[in-house]
A and B are shown apart, each in its own frame.
Chain A
Amino acid sequence: MRILVIEDDPILSDGLRVGLGLAGWTVDGVARFADARAALATAKFDAVVLDLMLPDGSGLDLLAQMRGTGDATPVILLTALDEIADRIRGLDAGADDYVGKPFDLDELGARIRAAVRRKDGRAEPVLRASGIILDPAGLSAVVEERDVPLSRREFAVLSALMERPGIIRSRMELEDRLYGWQEEIESNAVEVHIHNLRTKIGRTRIETVRGLGYRLRIGAP
């Protein structure tokens, strides 16, 4: 899953990028309002972590613009103001959740997962499809009651496929989910991860649709 962190403090921004990265997300960070708008316009994110006070504008304005253009990406607000009136203002402006600084990194991760889940219309914290149970919080998969350890990238690919079982995901789409802007995309990376996943969860579960991409086969083998 790909997340955009909009935060102007370099240390916090770096911490979020690395910390949320460790939790399995692909994180892009921007520091300014204008960059954030450009990022939102050019890429698709699963969630946005937004600081309310940016040097060149208000996070609430950005949020209003996003919601105004029909962008329903879950937004978690980060702010130093955590009075109730501020929370209400933030949530009413279209935010999905609200975290006051300083916050717990794990809690922020859980809140992002919850926001994404709500947006996808799922109540269950785990993804289930074709005999696989994928737990985003633990970065682990259970295939036919057998724990399968997954790398961060493998997890990202599998969760992308499991979110929409039976729907084809193109290679580009999967790469988008795997790599932030700063990361260099290795050629054949997606193929390599798919290959590794197949050896871990079973050869037939991921189907290759020639020229289009990959999809999760519906109904376990």
Chain B
Amino acid sequence: MTSLRRRLFILLLAATGALWLCAVIWIYAGSRSELEHVLDTRLQEAARMVHSLVASGNVSAAVSSAPFQEAGYERQLSCQIWSFDGRLLARSSGGPEGNLAQENEGFADRDISGETWRVYTIIDAQKGVRVAVGDRIGLRNRLVRDLVLGLVAPALIIIPLLGALIWFGLGQGLFPLNRVAGEIARRHGDDMRPIDDAIAPSEVRPLLRALNDLFGKVEAARRHERDITAFAAHELRTPLAGLKTQAQVALAANDDQIRISALRQIVVSVDRATRLTRQLLALAKLDAMPFPGQLEAIDVGLVLQDAINDCKRPPGLKLNVDPKLKGLFVQGDRECLYLVLRNLHENAVEHSATEGKISWSSLPDGAGMMIEDEGSGIPEDEIPLVTQRFYRGRGTTSSGTGLGLSIASVAANRLGMQLVLTNRKGRTGLSCIITKAI
């Protein structure tokens, strides 16, 4: 990327230069026409003056005027007096050899021995003479050129000076920007603190605000990523640590009771690891499943029966299944529906006290189904988070893997459905509605 300073510098300098050039051209053209006008008037006046002298009869005086040094703009005017019969009656010294005069009265440009002359001719029919006064066009041009050069010369000195001033001024003007840039450049890669926009000029503030927003988003995404990794590591490694510890206890214990207890814990631990593995595999399968997958009409009641049969539940826990669920059909993949129902059911069992009640019901008009438990529910602020993989909230049970609701949610999405989790009104417990995604 080009430097802003260089860009602005070139632009400003070009604009100034162009402006100057326009001024010069304008002044050149303006002063040229003005000059021409003035000089023409002078020619005319001079011609009249000479003519009035001729008219008063004093012609010879004009012929005998002495030659004098030509210098600068002097000797501009030349005068000739011709008789009608073509004799040169008089001419000013230094005047051209050729005939300046012309047939008609008035202004004309004439070429005489290689030079262009501007001539004003007066014809006096009474006296029978032509009075012609002329000056060299070349001289006029020199006058204009000198005028313009007088304008350009200071410009040649001023423009570099102006350039230096612009360069320095831009540096000063861009300093706050450079400071902000320096501040950002000095940051560490993982420093996502917002930049203080008080130090920046108001033009840069929107940029900084946008940057700060971006920093915020990146930081949030990174924290989320880190949390997921941390939660996953915790969920995967803790059961292994438990297994290993219990195995070492069993090896080290001399007491049979301790050994048997440790072995029992190992069995429980393996069951939990099995469940975790099953859930991880389910998740992997869901992630790899083509979308929209198999489409068939599935009877919710039948799949729910399978899901309930596959989950162990304490004998005191009551279960109420709405008979209308049998005959409720959902379009999609049977496996997905099973994963939704099983994980929701498992979750409800896990969070229920041993004496609670779980009820499955169908929504009116076959819009979906609902499961309600009498557990402790989910803190309101955690509801949007609990479907994240491995999320561990405050209400996490020790046997939970943090994957159940996540799997149910992903599988529901595969069916074109969504989970709506709410805490039950008027009593503790969670209610989950599975319905068509909007």
Q: Which of A10, A12, A53, A55 contacts B241 (CB 8 A)?
A: A12
Provide the bound-state CA to CA distance between A83 and B237, in Å.
14
Q: Is B248 located at the chain interface by the 8 A CB criterion?
A: yes
**Contact flags A96-116 to B (C-beta < 8 A → 1, else 0):** 000011111110000000000
Interface range on chain A: under 10, 10 to 19, 20 to 34, or 35 or more?
20 to 34
Interfacial residues of chain B within 257-290, with CB under 8 A of chain A in the complex: 258, 261-262, 265, 268-269, 272
Q: Given B234, B252, B265, which contacts A80 in the complex, CB threshold below 8 Å? A: B234
Select the stretch in A14-22, A156-164, A178-186, A191-199 that faces chain B: A14-22
Task: A31 to B240: give the CA distance in the assembly, Å.
Answer: 18
Q: Does A84 contact B (CB under 8 A)?
A: no
The interface residues of chain B lying within 8 Å CB-to-CB of A101 are 237-238, 240-241
**Chain A residues within 8 Å of B244, by CB:** 102-105
Q: Are B398 and A9 in contact (CB under 8 A)?
A: yes
A137 to chain B, nearest CB (A): 13
Q: A11-B268, A19-B249, A22-B253 in contact; A80/B242 too (CB < 8 A)?
A: no
- 1/0 contact trace for B397-429 toward A, CB 8 Å? 010000000000000000000000000000000
Asked if B248 contacts A105 (CB within 8 A), the reply is yes
Q: Is the CB of A55 within 8 A of B396?
A: yes
- Does A124 reach chain B (CB closer than 8 Å)? no
**Residue B239 interfacial (CB < 8 Å):** yes
B392 contacts the other chain (CB 8 A): yes
Residues of chain B within 8 A of A12, CB atoms compared: 238-239, 241-242, 245
Q: Which of B245, B246, B261, B392 contacts A55 (CB 8 A)?
A: B392
CB neighbours of B249 from chain A (8 A): 15, 18-19, 22, 105
Residue of B nearest to A99 (CB): B241
Compute the total of residue contacts between A and B using a CB distance below 8 Å.
91
A80 touches B230 (CB 8 A): yes
Question: Is B233 at the interface (CB under 8 A from chain A)?
Answer: yes
B353 CB → nearest A CB, Å? 17
Closest to B400 in A: A55
- In the complex, what residue of chain B is closest to A100 when comparing beta carbons? B237
Does A78 interact with chain B (Cβ within 8 Å)?
A: yes
| Chain A residues numbered 7-53 whose CB sits less than 8 Å from any CB in chain B | 8-12, 14-16, 18-19, 22, 31, 53
Contacts of B235 in A (CB 8 A): 80
7 closest A-B pairs by CB: A15-B245, A12-B242, A11-B242, A101-B241, A102-B241, A80-B233, A80-B237
A55/B252 contact (C-beta < 8 A), A11-B239, A103-B244 known: no
B130 smallest CB distance to A (angstroms): 108
Query: Please, how many angstroms separate the alpha-carbon atoms of A56 and B382 in the complex?
Result: 13
A81 in the interface, Cβ–Cβ < 8 Å?
Answer: yes
* Assembled-state Cα–Cα distance A103/B262 (Å): 17
23 A-B residue pairings within 8 Å (CB atoms): A9-B238, A9-B239, A10-B398, A11-B243, A12-B241, A15-B242, A15-B246, A16-B245, A18-B249, A18-B262, A31-B398, A53-B230, A53-B231, A53-B234, A55-B392, A55-B393, A55-B395, A80-B230, A80-B235, A101-B240, A102-B241, A103-B241, A103-B244
> In the bound complex, do residue A19 and residue B241 qualify as a contact, i.e. CB atoms below 8 Å apart?
no
A31 cross-chain contacts in B, Cβ below 8 A = 398
B394 at interface by CB-CB < 8 Å: yes
Interface size class of B (residues with CB under 8 A): 20 to 34
CA distance A24 to B243 in the complex (A): 21
B208 within 8 A of A: no
Q: What separation, in Å, do the CA atoms of A31 and B242 have in the docked complex?
A: 14
The CA of A31 and the CA of B241, in the complex, are separated in Å by: 16
A53 to B262, CA, bound (A): 24
> What sequence of 0s and 1s flags, for each residue 78-91 of chain A, a beta carbon within 8 Å of any chain B beta carbon?
11110000000000
Which chain A residues border B269 with CB–CB below 8 Å? 11
Decide yes or no whether B228 CB sits under 8 A from chain A.
no
Q: Mark B210-236, 1 if CB is under 8 A from A, else 0.
A: 000000000000000000011101111
Nearest B residue to A11, CB-CB: B242
B392 to chain A, nearest CB (A): 6
Q: How far is the CB of B276 from chain A (nearest CB, A)?
A: 12
A143-192 CB contacts (< 8 Å) to partner B = none
CB distance from A55 to the nearest CB of B (A): 5
Question: For B234, B243, B262, B272, which residue has the most chain A Cβ atoms within 10 angstroms?
Answer: B234
Closest partner residue, chain B, to A9 (CB atom): B238
Question: Which residues of chain A come closer than 8 Å to B239, judged between CB atoms?
Answer: 9, 11-12
- Give chain B residues whose Cβ lies under 8 Å from the Cβ of A80: 230, 233-238, 241
Which of B229, B237, B272 is A102 in contact with, Cβ under 8 Å? B237
Q: Is the CB of B246 within 8 A of A11?
A: yes
Q: How far is the CB of B189 from chain A (nearest CB, A)?
A: 13
B265 shortest CB reach to chain A, Å: 5
Given A14-B265, A81-B230, A101-B237: A9 and B242 within 8 A (CB)? yes
11 extra interface residue pairs, beta carbon distance < 8 Å, beyond A12-B242, A101-B238: A15-B246, A15-B265, A55-B396, A56-B394, A80-B241, A81-B230, A101-B241, A102-B243, A103-B241, A104-B244, A105-B244
